[in-house]
Structure 1
Amino acid sequence: MSNTVFAPWDDPSERPLIKFQNVTKRFGTFTAIDDLTVEIFEREFFALLGPSGCGKTTLMRMLAGFETPTEGAIDLAGQNIAMVPPNLRSVNMMFQSYALFPHLSIWDNIAFGLRRERMPKDQINERVSEMLRLTHLEKFARRKPHQISGGQRQRVALARSLAKAPKLLLLDEPLGALDKKLRQETQFELMDIQEKTGTTFVIVTHDQEEAMTVASRVAVMDHGKIIQIATPDKIYEEPNSVYVADFIGDVNIIPGTATPSGDDTFAIQWSEETAPLTAKSAIPFALDETCHLAIRPEKVAITADKPDDATNAVQGKILDIAYLGNSSTYHVELTNGAVIKAQTANTRRISRRAFTWEDTVWLSWTATAGVLLAS
């Protein structure tokens, strides 16, 4: 999905499909969702991302109608649905377990909800055929769930969820039961199906890679609050806090104090033994304000000699090497005891590494490589 074409959240004239307005959900004394406001737009693939217990599933269960808010309102297509029962919402939910009927064929599993709604037989046949085509399951229509693979069962559950043409489809950790390779393949299938149907998808996941792959926007959650909502590239490149930077991907977090040193430029005092680091930031920092510099390992260059023109250069010794096939991550211990990770792409097939354990190396990066964060 191209964010340059599809960005209703940037258009003030667009009305959201879903609106959470100051929603709080308490279970006894425990606050699962804390005064949360969020808008989700039609045709979005929206990801709720966060660790276990952050409130993302509670948020989804309130959308589905299995939980009601303690305070606040939830609007779907302009209607407050807080008190509308699940079966009367144009919302469908796909569970991690898939919950297929083992005694029914794939065809009958997909048709189940349509039959319950007393849809005419010819319309059911047409709709089920359409769903089988969409999910590439035509040749499995007469099989039972135990006769097909996990990935295919996942697609049956998806076809059944979409058969009733809901305005909104909720996916709760839908790919959790699949192995990594199949999960990656299925992520692209999900995106393709979502785009073809135009249904709004909201996915709950703790897998950051999954959220970054499928979503038009990602909401990073912690303790019942949304910390940041943005497109995947912004979440990665422009995190708004140490929590988001740390949660998404691999990152070096260097604590220090900032001193303005020119146009949007700051000197970061971070260690008595080493020279200040230089970083650019559009966010202003006061003199000696506590800050954290977040730098992705792939933005840190590793060399044997000190680079002549580097804005930031520090020396250290290689402590650990993680070989990941397409890249290698070097953990380098600096003279002040800090450990910084640098990542290099393995573009050529070579029999030996350029650097090995205990080697003394230089790490360097530009003034714009990192993001300066207040908290």
Structure 2
Amino acid sequence: MNPDFQQLMRNATRLTRSGDLQAATAAIQAALAGASTAPASAPATPAIDKLFHVIDVAAREVPGTEPCAPSSEETPGPESFIAGSHGGGAGRRDFKLYIPPGAGDRALPLVVMLHGCTQHPDDFAAGTDMNTIASTQGFFVLYPAQSQQANPQRCWSWFKHNHQARGRGEPALLAGMTREVMAGYAIDPDRVYVAGLSAGGAMAAILGDTYPDLYAAVGVHSGLAPGVATDLPSALGAMKGGARPVRTGASGVATIVFHGDADTTVHPSNGHQVIAASAGTATSIDVERRQAPGGRATTRSVHRAADGAVVAEHWLVHGAPHAWSGGSAKGSYTDLRGPDASAEMLRFFLEHPRQRGH
């Protein structure tokens, strides 16, 4: 049976039990119609007006109840990839959680991964291959799922003003989900990180900006800086490269950025703005150009604070489209020729544990 169909039917059962019969009916109809099944391969560089149509939808929050634990039918083993759901005042979202071998022996890092539009946790996990790295290096990976009830194309609401502040909207929901997972497993609170692609990258930047006490470092792939848009028209302008910096200060949260200079969906200039929003402009910069055999050339800019500490890295991947660099063909929106963004983000994360007092 199609796993998407099974998931929808499980959602319908849960919604029925909670009394939301209208949403349950919609879930059953979607399951019967196969509405949740995504295309096997999504175009890597959709036209800007088509992508904007994806995010130009009415988003609404689905009222949540109490957080619920992973399904008892999916008991964690030595290594597992389980499903769960988290809810609160800002709504409810499903998630997938990768639990590495040996979990529980000691406190391990946690990486939160936010998918892009039209994607879902299983697709994003396959495309980034982050679970494989987590298996060998020992860390948890949390994949929140944007619901089609909140956004029909599963885009995170980075462009809406009510989803850009601490304690509100999706940032509050995602931070709450992160804390719930931390409370349920042996996770090192000083090594909790967040990364994302496109709309997920933009939301990851917002989470780093609004919850620097929770996330020690941020990875933004093909995303946008916090606050460059507060509505749909400004979002379109930012994606085309017309956004202006929204502040002169910097969040100070360690940030690594990947962006392709052939990205026609989110203009590459947004990568520079993400770095400026996190590290500021008063940094020294070491620049190096790399060329992988048979792969893409990359310009890597390392930003250092006055004491020499690395505060940000910007990887500009030459010729790369709007896709996860170095990803696997098993997932959508991946670029196999680019450097391994997953491995480099993890390396950067582990070099930046949360500093006590922040």
Q: Which band: TM-score by shorter chain?
A: under 0.3
* TM-score normalised over the length of structure 2: 0.26
* TM-score normalised over the length of structure 1: 0.25
Greater per-residue strand proportion = 1
Please identify the structure whose Cα radius of gyration is greater.
1
Greater per-residue helix proportion = 2
